[in-house]
Structure 1
Amino acid sequence: MKKAIIGLVAGMLIGSAGMAAAATTQTVQAALAKFTFSVDGQKQTLKNDPLVYKGTTYLPVREVAEMTGYGLEYDNTKKSIDLKSKGGTDVSTELKAKTLLKGRTLIELLAKKYPDYATPTDNKLSLSLDGNLIIGDQKYALPYDSQYNYDVSPLIDARVLSVEDL
């Protein structure tokens, strides 16, 4: 009889411990999905498939950060993720100020063509959202559309860029 009571008590303890552990763990059901993913019109391949949960798509943040030019700092003890722009530039503004030429932004193309002006700290090569382009001591006003696609014909007319550059 004692063995039966001990067995019953032990079974209840094990059962309640299992229920307590289950109560602290939350499970969700999500689906892996395949998406076409692009950054500034350039198709990208994700190494890890996105998850879809309750109609919301969750992307792997480290991969997306790298694709968009951000660095990622992860702190497990604080449970924090910090995205930082690389090179000291305001990437959010730069992403708005895009004209893709041969898969590069206008600034990237000009930085390659004029490397002496491409130092991020001296602001000798910059493009503002209102179309003002600075290259060294020269200023150019570039017409643009609502998507911040800039017309580079003034740069071709001024011989800053050639048709071959495009």
Structure 2
Amino acid sequence: MKKYFIGFISGAMLATVGSVYAADALEKVEAYLKPQSVKLNGQSVTLENPAIVYDGSTYLKVRDIGKITGLHVDWNAETETVELSSGKGFDLDGNPSSIAQTDGIESIEFKLEVLDDYITDSEGTALKYKDTIYLPLTTGAQKYNIDKREIVYTVKDKTVSFTGKSINIPILDKFEPNCDGFFKNGMAFVREDIFSQVKK
């Protein structure tokens, strides 16, 4: 039976980006692997590797941290140093992604796949991130035969709801992984499975 400890994210991160270390710099410790949920700007992200819990603190792989924050991670074997740099971000799949500057803060621009032939007899283009498909709000309503008059958009809260349904969808200003909806080019996109829930 695996033993898990609950820890908290600490300022330090586990450096596992290289395989060459000085033998006298290593200290053997007893630690535990723990599946760790992590959120980026309020949205859940999936780590490729489990966290390590040691002495009451939770440590994440530097490369995992780099991928979800847009930092590029290198291992300098000559100096045995983990090197972090900005401007060379990667998306969650490990592919290079562009970095947007906002008031000195860098954020990842996640890649969305355009599905040109996914929607027929309707305006708008479907977008896909990993296994999740997003449809323009009015296009999704049309595809699932939902009366557009049932769609309620609340400007103050930036949410979409449907008359007679207990579904309330926050529409983010830009896409983030695992979000229910977001704006892109002035158009609101919503997860396709939400339309099927509304139709039930």
TM-score, normalised by the number of residues in structure 2? 0.36
> As a proportion of its length, which structure holds more helix?
1
TM-score, normalised by the number of residues in structure 1? 0.42
